[in-house]
């Protein structure tokens, strides 16, 4: 009960602040994100441009004055982070040359890494349910 009360008071303090940030895990890496940020990730194959995805693995939620850290994660119903897929793109052309000296063997490999860009649409902090007293 005390932990729930502390969580509710911490969320109300965070909600009173004008802007928020989150530290979230996406594709196995942690990113510091705020609303409107553009995040470039290795290609996500199961999403299309314009899709909205929810980022559920939130490690930290904060503002200028307050921070709420999870151990290791903040409960998923506490904060809702939505991101919109804005494009699928390719990186610069990378060239790798493999060779065996004195053998005449030379192999040139060209590769363009594919990326997905996400824009953080919203960071919503959940309101605690209203307690009904009997």
Reported as a single tens digit per residue, the pLDDT across 7-23 is: 888 888 999 999 999 99
Asked whether residue 15 is assigned to any structural domain, the reply reads no
Instruction: State residue 126's pLDDT score.
Output: 85
Mean pLDDT taken over the chain? 91
Do residues 112 and 91 touch, judged by C-beta distance below 8 A? yes
Asked whether residue 4 is assigned to any structural domain, the reply reads no
**What is the Cα–Cα distance from 25 to 20, expressed in whole angstroms?**
17
Q: How many domains, in total, are found in the chain?
A: 1
Asked whether residue 7 is assigned to any structural domain, the reply reads no
Asked whether residue 115 is assigned to any structural domain, the reply reads yes
Asked whether residue 65 is assigned to any structural domain, the reply reads no
Asked whether residue 104 is assigned to any structural domain, the reply reads yes
Query: Which segments of the chain have a pLDDT < 70?
Result: 1-4, 128-134
Identify the domain containing residue 82 by its residue range: 21-57+75-125
């Amino acid at each position: 009960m005390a932990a729930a009360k502390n969580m509710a008071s911490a969320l109300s303090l965070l909600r009173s602040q004008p802007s928020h940030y989150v530290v979230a895990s996406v594709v196995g890496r942690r990113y510091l994100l705020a609303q409107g940020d553009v995040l470039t990730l290795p290609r996500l194959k199961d999403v299309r441009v314009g899709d909205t995805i929810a980022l559920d693995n939130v490690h930290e939620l904060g503002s200028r004055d307050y921070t709420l850290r999870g151990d290791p994660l903040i409960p998923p119903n506490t904060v809702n982070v939505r991101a919109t897929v804005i494009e699928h793109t390719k990186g610069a052309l990378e060239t790798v040359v493999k060779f065996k000296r004195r053998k005449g063997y030379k192999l040139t490999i060209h590769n363009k890494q594919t990326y997905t860009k996400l824009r953080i649409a919203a960071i919503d902090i959940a309101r605690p349910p209203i307690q009904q007293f009997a």
